[in-house]
Structure 1
Amino acid sequence: MAEGLTDLDLLATFLEIYRGGSLTAAATRRGLTQPAVSGQLAKLERELGEPLFVRGSRGVTPTTRADELARRAGPHVDQLRSALDPVPALEGTVRIGGAAEFMTARGLPALVPLTQRGIRFEVTLGLANDLLATLKAGQLDLVLSSVRPGAGLTATPFTDEEFQLVGPPILARTVDQDLLGEDPARALEHLPLVAYSEELPIIRRYWRSEFGKRPKNPTAVIVPDLRAVLAAVIAGAGVSALPRYLAEPALTAGSVELLHHPEIPPLNTLYVVTRGSTPLVDSVVEHLKSRDWGVL
Structure 2
Amino acid sequence: MDLALLRTFVTVHRAGSFTRAAALLGLSQPAVTSQIRTLERQLGRPLFLRRARGVTPTTIGDELAHKAAPHLDALVEIAESGLDDESAERTLHLAGPPEFTAERALPALVEPAGEDGQGFALRVSFGNADDILDGLAAGHHDLAISTARPRGALLTATPLCDEEHVLVAAPRWAEWIGSEALHGKDASALEHLPVVEVHESLPFVSRYWAAVFDRRPAASGTVVVPDLRAVLACATAGAGLAVLPRYLCASALDQGDVVALHEPAVPPIRTYFLVVRTGTLAMPHIVRAYEGLLLAAAEWS
Q: Shorter-normalised TM-score: what interval?
A: 0.5 to 0.7
Which one is further off, 181-190 or 258-267?
181-190
1:118 deviates by: 2.2
C-alpha change, 1:158 and 1:253, in structure 2 (3 Å) is same
For 1:205-220, what aligned pairs fall within 5 Å after superposition?
A: 205-220=207-222
1:290 deviates by: 2.3
Name the structure 2 match of 1:127: 128
Name the structure 1 match of 2:151: 150
Name the structure 2 match of 1:280: 285
Name the structure 2 match of 1:291: 296
**Matches of 2:251 and 2:245, distance apart in 1:** 11
For 1:54-65, what aligned pairs fall within 5 Å after superposition?
A: none
Name the structure 1 match of 2:249: 247
The answer to whether residue 209 in structure 2 is matched with residue 204 in structure 1 is no
2:190 to 174, 188, 191: 188
1:171 deviates by: 0.9
Contact 1:190 1:218 in 2 (8 A): no
Instruction: Give RMSD over aligned pairs.
Output: 2.0
**Matches of 1:133 and 1:273, distance apart in 2:** 11
Name the structure 2 match of 1:109: 107
**Matches of 1:196 and 1:119, distance apart in 2:** 33
Contact 1:96 1:121 in 2 (8 A): yes
**Matches of 2:263 and 2:204, distance apart in 1:** 17
Aligned residues, how many?
A: 210
Q: Deviations over 1:220-249 (max 9, x none)?
A: 110000011011111111111001111111
Q: What runs of 5+ residues in structure 1 fail to find an aligned partner?
A: 1-86
Q: TM-score, normalised by structure 1?
A: 0.66
SS in structure 1 of the partner of residue 291 of structure 2: helix
Q: What runs of 5+ residues in structure 2 fail to find an aligned partner?
A: 1-83
Contact 1:161 1:269 in 2 (8 A): yes
For 1:32-47, what aligned pairs fall within 5 Å after superposition?
A: none
1:295 deviates by: 4.8
SS in structure 2 of the partner of residue 109 of structure 1: helix
Letter in 2 for 1:254: G
Q: Which runs of 4+ in 1 moved over 6 A?
A: none
Letter in 2 for 1:140: H
SS in structure 1 of the partner of residue 95 of structure 2: strand
**Matches of 1:89 and 1:288, distance apart in 2:** 22
C-alpha change, 1:88 and 1:208, in structure 2 (3 Å) is farther
C-alpha change, 1:178 and 1:169, in structure 2 (3 Å) is closer
2:168 to 166, 169, 176: 166
Name the structure 2 match of 1:271: 273
Letter in 2 for 1:260: H
Which one is further off, 178-187 or 190-199?
178-187
1:252 deviates by: 1.4
**Matches of 2:107 and 2:263, distance apart in 1:** 30
1:117 deviates by: 3.0
1:217 deviates by: 1.9
Name the structure 2 match of 1:99: 97
Letter in 2 for 1:283: R
Contact 1:210 1:262 in 2 (8 A): yes
1:178 deviates by: 4.0
Contact 2:160 2:297 in 1 (8 A): no
If you compute each CA radius of gyration, which structure gives the higher value, 1 or 2? Answer: 2
Name the structure 1 match of 2:18: none
Letter in 2 for 1:126: G
Q: Deviations over 1:2-26 (max 9, x none)?
A: xxxxxxxxxxxxxxxxxxxxxxxxx
1:294 deviates by: 4.1
**Matches of 1:221 and 1:214, distance apart in 2:** 18
1:203 deviates by: 1.3
